[in-house]
Amino acid sequence: MKRLYVYILKKFFGPLIATFFVSIFVLFMQFLWLYVDDLVGKGLDTMVVLEFVFQAILTLLPRSVPLAVLLASLMTFGNMGEKLELLSIKAAGVSLFRAMTPVIILVTFVSVAMLYFNNDVYPEAFRKMRVLIYDIKRAKPELSFKNEVFNTDIPGLTVRIGKKDIKTGMLHNVMIYDQRGNNEPTVTRADSGLMETTEDKRHLILTLFDGKTYGEVREEKNKPSKNSDFAQPFRRDTFQKQTVLFEIDENFKKSSDDAAKNQYFSKDYKQLAESYDSLVTLDDKRAELFYLSKIKFAYHKNLPESRTKNVINPVQRNTDYDLDSLFVMMNKRQQESTINYALQSARKVKNNIMERDREEENILYNTRRHLFELNNRIALALLSLIMFFIGAPLGAIVRKGGLGLPVVLSVFFFVLYYIIDNFGRHLTYNAGHSAYVGAWLSTMVLLPIGIFLTRQATSDSVIMNVENYYLFFKKIFKKNKNERG
């Protein structure tokens, strides 16, 4: 048995290494395709490019390893089945599951290693890659503008370009949302424009044609509150030509090592769990504080003195009274004033509730994101083992080795996993479903498939025998042909 185990491990180890590099290459090409526009023409140093490639490969490892295990197990056991080696092993009294035991142990060690990798290496590599991508985008930001996409690479500005003419450099349908400084935000819309940088590469000159600038004008003396219902002065400037100067730095500069350390993707298992508990506690405290300071105060609010001084005697102002009777005792002017005051108070309460709702949604979104990331990393580590229990029995069933059918089947199951995983992420992030369901959804779908295939392969079930289906349909077609003849 020892020689058999060593032989099977040798047969599996070679394809595993080869398929691992193939998986890394395929996933990296897909990843690179997303950021090729941000890398081209930036004049990046060779070491920066190499660091980007290295960090990207590290972030792709958690998905490359399961794909490599799936493809290697399909190739190994499919090749052994094609050469009748599995048949010889079964004839010697060794079951298929027992023959898979050494590979199961090896893949288990791989899953445990990936569990530690996802906790220690992956967060730091993902953080460095995200920061590096941000730094690359900041270099020569005029190259990162895309059609119909809001661009925030320039601090304090949001720029949207309808269409960019590559030959002439003309920009069409330009919109700029300016939030720089302490001034009120302004919106500029122009029919067209040209963009160029100064000689010192520190400023970006944007020349706009045929446009308008919109903005609010507020007086500091009587500046209304944020939730005020009063109308604000509005400014609209029309221009035929306008030159806007943006301060930039085209040279590539790396951010500090502490950048993005507080983001969810930069945290390990323990930090994710602590952040999740902190966010839940924070949401509960803010909800309680909001109730005490807003809702309860709104329902127990005293009437203003200006509305009641002519209706209630001074001695009765601190006593309970019937609001309906009090309203009837007022004159028409006081009733209108009271109604307007009540409507204004109700609007403020409504605005406070809506603002609290948005704040709570942001907290819950971050909470779900932390919990999903924690569970998804664990599920990714166990994915290698699940993929083996799909690939090995499937290879023994189809009995085809090489790079033909195994590659097709591997791509099918990996795409199936990818779709389900993204669907689970969407359910958690956007639809507000449980992070546990979203993170483990792919596992809940693939694990029964692996158990079913393993059971069918080890029991030599005729259900998964392709030749039986071929002979069955051949008999049907032959019978129909004889009846027509």
**Average of pLDDT values for 95-100?**
85
Residue 122 and residue 17 share a domain:
yes
**What pLDDT is stored for residue 61 in this prediction?**
92
Q: Residue 432: inside a domain, yes or no?
A: yes
- Percentage of the chain beyond pLDDT 70 is 76
- Its pTM stands at 0.69
In this structure, of 204-213, 374-383, 402-411, the range with the lowest mean pLDDT score is: 402-411
Sort 4 into a burial class: Cβ within 10 Å, 0-12 / 13-18 / 19+.
middle
**What pLDDT is stored for residue 307 in this prediction?**
45
Q: Residue 89: inside a domain, yes or no?
A: yes
Pairwise CA distance, residues 237 & 218, whole Å: 16
**What pLDDT is stored for residue 195 in this prediction?**
78
The pLDDT of residue 310 is above 60: no
Q: For all residues of the chain together, what is the average pLDDT?
A: 78
Q: Residue 260: inside a domain, yes or no?
A: no
Residue 204 and residue 117 share a domain:
no
Extended beta strands in 57-140, E state: none
The pLDDT of residue 412 is above 80: yes
The pLDDT of residue 479 is above 70: no
Residue 154 and residue 99 share a domain:
no
**Average of pLDDT values for 22-42?**
80
Q: Count CA atoms closer than 13 A to 67's CA, side-chain side.
A: 24
Residue 225 and residue 346 share a domain:
no
The pLDDT of residue 303 is above 60: no
**Residue 87, C-beta contacts closer than 8 angstroms, at least 6 positions apart:** 81
In this structure, of 84-98, 296-310, 442-456, the range with the lowest mean pLDDT score is: 296-310
Tokens in use for 204?
Answer: 């970006």
Residue 19 structural domain: 2-134+377-480
Buried/exposed code over 169-203 (b: 16+ C-beta within 10 A; e: otherwise): eebeebebebeeeeeeebebebebbebebeeeeee
Q: Count CA atoms closer than 13 A to 5's CA, side-chain side.
A: 10
Tell me which of 338, 369, 400 is where a domain ends. Answer: 369
Q: Residue 256: inside a domain, yes or no?
A: no
Residue 397 pLDDT class (50, 70, 90 cuts): confident
**Average of pLDDT values for 394-404?**
78
**Average of pLDDT values for 247-257?**
58
Could you give the 3-state DSSP secondary structure of residue 170?
A: strand
Q: Residue 327: inside a domain, yes or no?
A: yes
In this structure, of 1-10, 169-178, 230-239, 304-313, the range with the lowest mean pLDDT score is: 304-313
Q: Residue 185: inside a domain, yes or no?
A: yes
The pLDDT of residue 112 is above 90: yes
Residue 108 pLDDT class (50, 70, 90 cuts): very high
Tell me which of 247, 279, 303 is where a domain ends. Answer: 247
- Tell me the H-state helices in 237-331: 269-290, 296-299, 305-308, 323-329
CB of 389 closer than 8 Å to CB of 453:
yes
The pLDDT of residue 311 is above 50: no
The pLDDT of residue 89 is above 60: yes
**What pLDDT is stored for residue 65 in this prediction?**
93
The pLDDT of residue 475 is above 80: no
Tell me which of 191, 212, 247 is where a domain ends. Answer: 247
Residue 82 and residue 159 share a domain:
no
In this structure, of 103-117, 133-147, 258-272, 445-459, the range with the lowest mean pLDDT score is: 133-147
- Name residue, tokens 């590599």: 125
Residue 195 and residue 85 share a domain:
no
Pairwise CA distance, residues 194 & 164, whole Å: 10
The pLDDT of residue 366 is above 60: yes
CB of 205 closer than 8 Å to CB of 197:
yes
**Average of pLDDT values for 128-132?**
85
- Name residue, tokens 């048949």: 87
Residue 32 and residue 98 share a domain:
yes
CB of 368 closer than 8 Å to CB of 435:
yes
User: What's the structural domain count of the chain?
Assistant: 3
Residue 64 pLDDT class (50, 70, 90 cuts): very high
Residue 294 and residue 214 share a domain:
no
The pLDDT of residue 302 is above 90: no
**What pLDDT is stored for residue 24 in this prediction?**
92
Which strands make up the sheet holding 157-164, listed edge to edge? 150-151, 157-164, 170-178, 186-197, 203-216, 234-247
Pairwise CA distance, residues 290 & 358, whole Å: 13
Residue bearing the bigger pLDDT, 43 or 122: 122
Could you give the 3-state DSSP secondary structure of residue 285?
A: helix
In this structure, of 23-27, 176-180, 296-300, the range with the lowest mean pLDDT score is: 296-300
Cβ–Cβ contacts within 10 Å for residue 20, how many?
Answer: 18
